[in-house]
Amino acid sequence: MRNTEDIWQFVDDKRDVFEALSDRVFDTPELLYNEFQSAAAHEEALRAEGFATTTGIAGIPTAMMGEAGEGGPIIAILGEYDALPGLSQEPGVTEPRPQVSGGNGHGCGHNLLGAGALLAATALKDYLARNNLPGRVRYYGCPAEEGGAAKAFMVRAGAFEGVDAAITWHPSSVNEVARARALANTRIDFTFTGRASHASGAPHLGRSALDALELTSVGVNYMREHMPPGSRVHGAILETGGIAPNVVQARAKVRYAVRGTTREPMLDLVEWVKRIAQGAAMMTDTKVEWQLLSSFSDLVGNRPMEEAMQSQLERLGPADYDDEDRAFAAAIQQTLSPQDIATTYLKTGESPKEGETIHERVVPLDAAGIELIGSTDVGDVSWVVPTVQAHTATMAVGTPGHSWQLTAQGKSPLAKKGMVQAAKVMAATALAAMSDEGLLSAAKEDLAKRTAGRPYRSPIPDGVEPPLQMGRTH
């Protein structure tokens, strides 16, 4: 089997269908584990394209898998479709203009991510069928990437057993094979319970849960000085105990995200935060309970798959953006700071180009740049299956993640061109893997070497179930 540009035509044949799916998901932004309309749209598309579907993977109603083909290797293509709170934004405008005040929005481009991944899977399915070739393609609809760790629960449930390679992508401001770096991450809630009383008339009868929460925050701040390099801790107060200052707060709740460069030191930090919370409860004579919501691992790279994807990305090149795309990107850039724009080039190690509003080049595989690392539950997949990820330019150079500017570009022709380009890269990379037993063997050998002496251990303890209520706490 030859991996030719033919596969790109199979992507173009269905681009209109999946651009429409992306728009449909954009218009129904839903938070982690509550992506019911978005998941239904993806399941409907899978069935319409002839995939055999499985839903409710790992006990998650919005997780699914569609499979097509027979025999040969099994290649997984991973999609996502969850949105973020507070990032509602009217598309196509260059000023902050929420569609719903305080509402959800696709500020990380997952409307594009899921649709683009399914477009790649569909093109690969159609190519195999047209050419009567062996091989199975699986589309995994993965909810709750934004802190919910659905893929980690799916891995723990065995959903990726038998898969030979996994391919995914993410909307970006650059065209590149993603660097295999991501922080391990745990989200955990601490609920403090005290005793209400009149804050002036009988303060001695009260026990302040809010005081305990504040002391925990102080303790975590002091912990930060002594964390391993690259570690992060962030907090969000979910409940303060009310708005009356003359009532001692009987209940308070805080959520922490604890990150580390690898799984083990991250889990050590989680235990440290637990001890801080216990100490704060003792200091205030309150009680504390914690609930682990999600936890996922660092990312394991795979050089053979990265080189294969880089080859396809270089052959394909950037998308065919036009002057209207560039003008829209320039207008978005007017809302950004020079530091925003410079950060793009710091990450890629490239020199800025005069007037470059869209990234219309391909970053070399080993480009030097400053790594600004986040987290993704793709990490857990990468521990059990050779995994590779593409970035393609779906937004103006400098666009920050999780911003109204990113949401504003989510239905633009610029974004859709980048999405289609990603689908072509993924489909061609998947076909290359199916065509070359040596590539898959090398990828599996590389994964075995990288994980030798450090076998995969789920960061989610047995008995902890997917927090299906998590997206309803905002």
Task: For the chain, give every residue range classified as CATH 3.40.630.10.
Answer: 6-182+299-451
More confident residue, 370 or 427: 427
- pLDDT score, position 103: 97
- pLDDT score, position 139: 98
Q: What is the mean pLDDT of the chain?
A: 96
CATH superfamily of 6-182+299-451: Zn peptidases (3.40.630.10)
Cβ neighbors of 91 (< 8 A, separation 6 or more) are 26, 407, 408, 409, 410, 411, 412
Instruction: Write the pLDDT tens digit of every residue in 276-333.
Output: 999 999 999 999 999 999 999 999 999 999 999 999 999 999 999 999 999 999 999 9
More confident residue, 473 or 170: 170
Nearest to 471 by CA among 134, 39, 79: 39
Fold adopted by 184-295? Alpha-Beta Plaits (3.30.70)
Banded pLDDT at 368 (limits 50, 70, 90): confident
Instruction: Write the pLDDT tens digit of every residue in 373-419.
Output: 889 999 999 999 999 999 999 999 999 999 999 999 999 999 999 99
Instruction: Write the pLDDT tens digit of every residue in 232-280.
Output: 999 999 999 999 999 999 999 999 999 999 999 999 999 999 999 999 9
- pLDDT score, position 1: 38
- pLDDT score, position 244: 96
Task: For the chain, give every residue range classified as CATH 3.30.70.360.
Answer: 184-295
Write out the chain in H/E/C secondary structure. Answer: CCCCCHHHHHHHHHHHHHHHHHHHHHCCCCCCCCCHHHHHHHHHHHHHCCCEEEECHHHCCCCEEEEEEECCCEEEEEEECCCECCCCCCCCCCCCCCCCCCCCECCCCHHHHHHHHHHHHHHHHHHHHHCCCCEEEEEEEECCCCCCCHHHHHHHCCCCCCCCEEEEEEEECCCEECCCCCCEEEEEEEEEECECCECCCCHHHCECHHHHHHHHHHHHHHHHCCCCCCCEEEEEEEECCCCCCCECCCEEEEEEEEEECCHHHHHHHHHHHHHHHHHHHHHHCCEEEEEEEEEECCCCCCHHHHHHHHHHHHHHCCCCCCHHHHHHHHHHHCCCCHHHHHHHHHHHCCCCCCCCCCCCCCCCCCCCCCCCCCCCCHHHHHHHCCEEEEEEECCCCCCCCCCHHHHHCCCCHHHHHHHHHHHHHHHHHHHHHHHCHHHHHHHHHHHHHHHCCCCCCCCCCCCCCCCCCHHHCC
Instruction: Write the pLDDT tens digit of every residue in 113-155.
Output: 999 999 999 999 999 999 999 999 999 999 999 999 999 999 9
CA–CA dist 322, 413 (Å, integer): 10
Instruction: Write the pLDDT tens digit of every residue in 437-467.
Output: 899 999 999 999 999 998 999 999 999 999 9
Q: Is the pLDDT of residue 431 over 50?
A: yes
Has this prediction a pTM greater than 0.85? yes
- pLDDT score, position 259: 96
Banded pLDDT at 166 (limits 50, 70, 90): very high
Q: Is the pLDDT of residue 2 over 70?
A: no
